[in-house]
Structure 1
Amino acid sequence: MENENIPQLSGNIEKDIRQGYTGGSTDMFIPYGENIKCYDVNSLYPSVMIDQDMPIGKPIKFSGDISKFEKDAFGFFKVKVNCPENIMHPILQIRYKSGSEIRTISPVGNWSMWIFSEEMYNALKYGYTFEILERYTFERGITFKNYVEFLYNLRLEYSKDNPLNLIAKILLNSFYGRFGMNEILLKYEIVSKEEFEKIEENLIKDFIELEDNVLVGLKTEESEDNSNVSIAIAAAITAYARIHMSKFKNNSKIRLFYTDTDSIYTDSEIDSSYVDPKLLGKLKLEYFCEKAIFLGPKIYCLKTKNGLIIKVKGLKDISSLTFDSFNHLLSKKTIKVSHKKWFRKISEGKITIKDQLYTIIMTENKRKLLSYNNFLLFRIN
């Protein structure tokens, strides 16, 4: 790794590539199933870091369709996308503004986006077509092989209850995210309220009122020009991870009920070539579910021989929920659960805890469910 030139990116190139930086894909396809097997990928992100080319060196900007001159151009492209109508599970995801919220969706239709070249080439196999508008090209380099091999071997050497196993796991799984951090360097000043009113709003990142004065955090020039991150590395790693998972998403031999960043839930038999509990990038059987209900991304209930596994994003206390609760929700009804939420008021140095109602409902913000085996994909034109 020390011999590779990892670029520190800022300015327009950082902003452009960051538009195409999204994480793992999480989706519900069939809300109810029996005899469901959950497979996890062994260390998904490290598995693609170990042997995939990373964007290194000095990037070069090019306007127009570079594929006419360089068939295997490597980097990040701004493209117009056309997704085939007959695709079962779309594999390209974007951030999409719907009303007042921004969702990460995998739509069909036509749109423009920034995309990593290797993810674009992979999507061509599934019928996507592209028009390249502009691009940043990079050199290629196998950058993190020694790092990943050393730490993964530590995990294999020590049991899960050994601290070294946990340390190695954290260093492996959090490593890529450091390159994608959105650095905001702030300069804090105490100013009068009159001076505060004169500061340009786009420069203010944080402020606390202090009686007649204001403690204000201002964006500094260094935050634009001296970035200590490399968004290209983080965007490439997450794209490679989605490429890895795409092989399961439109496979006629695999019926998917639910997918998370690094896992699939299916009632199909998985080809043994995909499975090995110890090899990086291979699948391991995490658990077998007698019954499973999936209500949306990060909202599910799994009935296993060892009891229930319940996940509801944003809800910590799930003690009142049962399998019958989720059965009730399958008919698009709602359940309200009381939970405690913390509120901070920094200016007064207070933290208050309040009871609030949390509403659980089947989520249709990524696709509209028509029946248990049929759904309407999100369309963009």
Structure 2
Amino acid sequence: MGIVYAQISKIIAHYAHIYEGEIILKIMIRVYMDGINKVWQPQSEEESLIILYTIIDAYYGWCEPKTDTDTEPITAKVIRHSNRSYPTHITALKQSRTELKPFIVADMETIIINQVHFPYAVGLMMVRPGEQINEIMIDTYFSEDYKIILNQFEDRSTKVLNDFVLRILTIVRQEQSPLTIYFHNLSRFDGIIFLKHLVCHHKNYELKTLLRNNRVYEIAVYSGKKMLFRVRDSLNLLPASLDALSKNLCPELGVKGNIDHNNLSMTNIESQKKILLDYMKQDILLLGGVMLKAQEIYWKLFQVDIESKITLASLALSIFRLKYYDASNWPIHIPNKNEDSFIRLAYYGGHTDAYKPYGENLYYYDVNSLYPFVMKEFPMPGGVPVWHRNLDGMDLDSMFGFIEAYVECPKTINKPFLPYRNKENTLIFPTGVFVGVYFSEELKYARDIGYTVIPISGYLFERKESPFKDFVSSLFESRLEAKKSKNDAMAYVYKILMNSLYGRFGINPKSTITEICDENQRKNLLRHSDLIFSELLYENKYIISFHSNTDKGPDYWKPPENSAVQLAAAITAYARIYMYPYISREDCYYTDTDSVVLGQKIPVEEVSPSVLGKFKLVDLILKGYFLAPKAYYYETKEKGVLKFKGPLKDHVSKEIFEILLMDPDTKIPVKNLHKFKVNLKKLTVGEEERIETLGIKLGNKRKPVFCSGDWVDSEPIDIEDLSSLNHIGKTVFKSLKKRLNEIHNEKFSQIDERCKEMKSQFDAKKTDKKGHRRREE
């Protein structure tokens, strides 16, 4: 043990030299039993002290410590983790399905009882590829049809869902194959209610739920190990309202109906049976038409069945991997834990800011497919990244990758370029001094517009031509052709595909997972997970929520399938670079990712409604209020446009914007009814009325500027934050800062010498002129 202590002493002395002036807070020693098959029993504090004093005494022996040459390095055995291996790069796909699968579409209608939604009707329709659909094919179940046998409405509501499940099981037996059932907006409504019913009333079946970040993506129902059916959200594949989708994809089936849900009650529900069921059946018919048309389009274009995918992003990735991805020449690297954690710090997303609160005669532009344009035109980080802990001595222009850097933004820049995430997790664009992780190309751009940039450390990649060129070009050209031929359905499909791919690469490995489980699984999750909550639902059925990628300790890593955050971070950084010349204009009032509101026109050569990456004029604004990100109102000759992020949008009007412009600190209490409030612990959806405060957060992204009491402009927040620098970073920074100062001093000396030289020349000429005058006199 004396040898071990000597080794510790030697290591401490070594690191004391590296981290001079720092404090050692803790020393941790890994102990393993070599060749002894028994469980390690930890010592008591008293026993530990006795052993420690024995070691110290044995080592020092009341004499001078041993020198470095007396100890040999001790090499510990490598601890092998049993983590499941994962691919190092994204693979290409091969065609698997040879024919399309049938599916079911369904809808549920509810009524409020004691502030909770209960189903009073549910319906479904079988949809087969290539076959016509019509209203006759729809099966419906209505609560009041069971009045003769069930007195309580809650019992009749349960009976409706029970018969619905039995009908699904009958169809599954007839098909002799598991089926997918689609609801539109399953994630935050139908899925919560249906999951609660399955848990409480179908105990013979096992449920496997895909519930992430409080959204239901899939409910799979099993009998033993055999899957019977799964329920999914069509909104995740076709992200638009059913009304908008049906107008694009199946206008021949008619329009979405409309009923006054607010006037529905237990006293009139039975008398309105026909109206209510006709409304629900039209929704089911439209959903069937939308999904059938979408399935047909995707199969015809890409030989991909949408029934095999849960989200649009995963569908877009599958199409890319199947049709456009060259895995042999451009393998997309899947980052490990260290790489992902570091690079994700540079994944900031889009830039949204409000600069001037009010303006008249303005121009609202947005870019034609900004992210697809960037994906096509700009080089991407390829190959396997190489970590550089010290970038001292490397030229920024030679770097390509993701870099932690010291940054200084001058106060003279009114609309700063580089993002910074503050302690409140708000993304701001400040002036001042700070440290952050950025894509190399935005650091170069920042330097060129006046920032001081000192690279510290980072992951460097190969600069490679974009692997998305063919993907974007093909889809954009096909979309233009579809628009020319007035094929709105095809144009819509091409558009959503183009814009959905990049985000899939940036999928976050850390998410909130919610599971339905029994007591044994619950105990296991409680022991090994970062628990959020656990609640008993029904007779040994629990709902438990926890954070992913933390359940097996800090070294555990299970990346999302086919993630590549380096691509998502690079794409969004390039987009911010592309937009900055327009954002930085003095006449920019507002920006949101791919759009700007300007006081003057953009040059005509930069505007085209049909060219990828060029701007199109969205609106000519007569007057507009731009009070905060995602909070604006403007008027054109034809309409008023209002945007207000949050649950209080229905309470906002032009008059509210006028009040807030006059006094931005105004807070207005409003009574707000949340009609679809999800209680995940109880698996219910209900109504909740609350008094909430309507207003804007002033000064959290930029500081307001007042003139004679009027809010007229804004200015950036100035910060100073070097807290994220580690020991190595501080050392590198000091070295680079010293070198930078030396360069500046050298330049200043050269300028000073030049000034002295020019002054002496000027003085000499001045003396010559005086002598000339004297001679003339």
User: Alpha-carbon deviations, 1:286-330, whole Å to 9, x = none?
Assistant: 001110001100001101111210000014753x54323211111
Q: Name stretches of at least 5 consecutive residues in structure 1 with no aligned partner.
A: none
Aligned to 1:132: 455
Do 1:35 and 1:290's aligned partners in 2 also have CA atoms closer than 8 Å?
Answer: yes
Do 1:81 and 1:110's aligned partners in 2 also have CA atoms closer than 8 Å?
Answer: yes
Aligned to 1:242: 576
- Change in CA separation of 1:206 and 1:240 when aligned onto 2, cut-off 3 Å: farther
CA apart distance, 1:194:
9.5
Aligned to 2:606: 274
Q: Which amino acid aligns with 1:6?
A: I
Separation in 2, partners of 1:198, 1:263: 46
User: Secondary structure of 1:305's match?
Assistant: coil
Separation in 2, partners of 1:323, 1:346: 36
- Change in CA separation of 1:327 and 1:119 when aligned onto 2, cut-off 3 Å: same
CA apart distance, 1:375:
2.5
Q: Which amino acid aligns with 1:152?
A: F
Q: Which amino acid aligns with 1:182?
A: N
The 5-angstrom pairing of residues 57-76 of structure 1 reads 57-65=383-391, 68=394, 71-76=397-402
Do 1:85 and 1:109's aligned partners in 2 also have CA atoms closer than 8 Å?
Answer: yes
User: Secondary structure of 2:600's match?
Assistant: coil
Does residue 378 in structure 1 map to residue 717 in structure 2?
A: yes
Aligned to 1:264: 596
User: Alpha-carbon deviations, 1:233-284, whole Å to 9, x = none?
Assistant: 0000000100011111223xx5111111111111113222321221111111
Aligned to 2:427: 104
Q: Which amino acid aligns with 1:199?
A: R
Aligned to 2:746: none
Aligned to 1:154: 478
Match of 2:557 among 197, 208, 224: 224
Do 1:80 and 1:111's aligned partners in 2 also have CA atoms closer than 8 Å?
Answer: yes
Aligned to 1:287: 619
Do 2:514 and 2:543's aligned partners in 1 also have CA atoms closer than 8 Å?
Answer: no
Do 2:509 and 2:558's aligned partners in 1 also have CA atoms closer than 8 Å?
Answer: no
Separation in 2, partners of 1:241, 1:67: 29
- Change in CA separation of 1:308 and 1:60 when aligned onto 2, cut-off 3 Å: same
User: Alpha-carbon deviations, 1:103-149, whole Å to 9, x = none?
Assistant: 11111111111100011111112111111111101112221000001
CA apart distance, 1:195:
3.8
User: Secondary structure of 2:480's match?
Assistant: helix
Separation in 1, partners of 2:668, 2:514: 45
Aligned to 1:199: 527
- Change in CA separation of 1:10 and 1:216 when aligned onto 2, cut-off 3 Å: farther
Separation in 2, partners of 1:51, 1:59: 22
Aligned to 1:304: 636
Separation in 1, partners of 2:691, 2:636: 29
Separation in 2, partners of 1:64, 1:156: 48
Q: Which amino acid aligns with 1:81?
A: V
Of 242-251 and 332-341, deviating more is: 332-341
Separation in 2, partners of 1:201, 1:226: 17
- Change in CA separation of 1:79 and 1:32 when aligned onto 2, cut-off 3 Å: same
Aligned to 1:334: 667
Aligned to 1:51: 377
- Change in CA separation of 1:54 and 1:335 when aligned onto 2, cut-off 3 Å: same
Does residue 368 in structure 1 map to residue 703 in structure 2?
A: yes
User: Secondary structure of 2:432's match?
Assistant: strand
User: Secondary structure of 2:397's match?
Assistant: coil
Q: Provide the aligned length of Structure 1 versus Structure 2.
A: 374
User: Secondary structure of 1:118's match?
Assistant: helix
Do 1:317 and 1:339's aligned partners in 2 also have CA atoms closer than 8 Å?
Answer: no
Q: Name stretches of at least 5 consecutive residues in structure 2 with no aligned partner.
A: 1-324, 721-777
Do 1:255 and 1:268's aligned partners in 2 also have CA atoms closer than 8 Å?
Answer: yes
Does residue 355 in structure 1 map to residue 689 in structure 2?
A: yes
Do 1:67 and 1:73's aligned partners in 2 also have CA atoms closer than 8 Å?
Answer: no
Do 1:329 and 1:335's aligned partners in 2 also have CA atoms closer than 8 Å?
Answer: no
Aligned to 2:161: none
- Say which structure is richer in helix: 2
Larger-Rg structure: 2
Do 1:181 and 1:231's aligned partners in 2 also have CA atoms closer than 8 Å?
Answer: yes
- Change in CA separation of 1:180 and 1:27 when aligned onto 2, cut-off 3 Å: same
Separation in 2, partners of 1:131, 1:52: 24
User: Alpha-carbon deviations, 1:193-244, whole Å to 9, x = none?
Assistant: 9947962563x36644346674446646697144420000000000010001
Separation in 1, partners of 2:461, 2:410: 29
Do 1:192 and 1:214's aligned partners in 2 also have CA atoms closer than 8 Å?
Answer: no
Do 2:386 and 2:460's aligned partners in 1 also have CA atoms closer than 8 Å?
Answer: yes
Separation in 1, partners of 2:691, 2:505: 37
Does residue 168 in structure 1 map to residue 494 in structure 2?
A: yes
Separation in 2, partners of 1:146, 1:83: 38
Separation in 2, partners of 1:20, 1:279: 29
Of 222-231 and 293-302, deviating more is: 222-231
- Say which structure is richer in strand: 1
User: Alpha-carbon deviations, 1:124-177, whole Å to 9, x = none?
Assistant: 121111111111011122210000011111221123771221111111112110
Q: Which amino acid aligns with 2:431?
A: V
Q: Which amino acid aligns with 1:157?
A: E
User: Alpha-carbon deviations, 1:74-95, whole Å to 9, x = none?
Assistant: 1000111111110010111121
- Change in CA separation of 1:190 and 1:81 when aligned onto 2, cut-off 3 Å: farther
Of 362-371 and 67-76, deviating more is: 67-76
Separation in 2, partners of 1:156, 1:223: 47
User: Secondary structure of 1:130's match?
Assistant: strand
Match of 1:16 among 336, 339, 342: 342
- Change in CA separation of 1:94 and 1:329 when aligned onto 2, cut-off 3 Å: same
Match of 2:445 among 98, 122, 125: 122
Does residue 209 in structure 1 map to residue 536 in structure 2?
A: yes
Do 1:91 and 1:106's aligned partners in 2 also have CA atoms closer than 8 Å?
Answer: yes
Separation in 1, partners of 2:545, 2:620: 51
Aligned to 1:91: 417
Root mean square deviation of aligned Cα: 2.6
Separation in 1, partners of 2:492, 2:423: 38
Of 232-241 and 260-269, deviating more is: 260-269
Separation in 2, partners of 1:369, 1:353: 37
Aligned to 1:34: 360
